[in-house]
Structure 1
Amino acid sequence: MKTLKVTCAIIQFENKILAVQRSEKMKLPLKWEFAGGKIEAGESEVNCIKREILEEINIHIEINERLTPVIHEYPNLKIELIPFIANYISGELKLREHANFVLANKEELLNLDWAEADLPILKEFLAL
């Protein structure tokens, strides 16, 4: 099975963190995740995450740190999820694909029903 490389961003809005909820039409409907998307051919990880965040939620971010990538196998898909911690810079948050979003403190993030691949990333982030 081919591994799909995907980036995601833990976006900090001062002391709150952005989580987005997958729409009912997406794979893993209504699961929560950190926003991001697939790396295109010839694209760097950092350029990918900045582009995806702008396309999906209409904001500009600044990358601070790369966390440990997670390889996760879903029944018909294997992904390498490459996480970044980022700060919100500018733009009005507008969901183009997702059903909902929340700005939460670290403890509140634990109450969400996360996509499985995002869980190790959440745990690493909370341990920082």
Structure 2
Amino acid sequence: MKTIPVTCAIIHFGNKVLAVQRSETMSLPLKWEFAGGKIEPGESEEECIKREIFEELNIHINLKRKLTAVIHQYPNFKINLIPFIGEYVSGELKLKEHADHVLLDKDELYTLDWAEADLPILKEFTEL
């Protein structure tokens, strides 16, 4: 099975962190995740995450650092999830694909029902 390269971003809005909920029509319906998406051919990881965040959320971010990538096998697909920590710069947050979003303190993030691939990223982030 081919591994799909996907980026995601842990986005700070001041001292809060953004999490988004997948819609009922997406794979892994209603699971929470850090927003992002698939890397297009010829695109860098950094270009991908900035593009995906703008396309999905209508906002611009600055990237601060990269965290450890996670390879995760779901029943029907396998991803290489490449996480970044970023901060909100501009734009009005508008969900274009997701069902919901929350802005939480770092220690509140574990209250959500996360997509499995995001869990190791959440763990690394909360231990920083």
TM-score, length-scaled by structure 2: 0.99
| Aligned residues with identical type, % of pairs | 73
Query: Whole-Å Cα distance in 1 between the matches of residues 120 and 114 of structure 2?
Result: 10
Extract structure 1 runs of 4+ deviating beyond 4 A: none
Tell me the amino acid that sits aligned with residue 5 of structure 1.
Answer: P
TM-score of the pair, normalised by structure 1: 0.99
Count of residues paired in the alignment: 128
Structure 1: gaps spanning 5 or more residues: none
- Matched residue, 2:126: 126
> Structure 2 matches for 1:85-100, cutoff 5 A?
85-100=85-100
Unaligned 5+ segments in structure 2 are none
Distance 1:61 1:54 in 2: 8
The C-alpha deviation readout for 1:72-102, integer Å capped at 9, x for no partner, is 0001100000000000000000000000000
Aligned AA for 1:31? K
Question: Displacement of 1:107 after TM fit?
Answer: 1.3
Q: Equivalents in 1 of 2:29, 2:2: separation in Å?
A: 23
Per-residue deviation, 1:25: 0.4
CA RMSD of aligned residues (A): 0.3
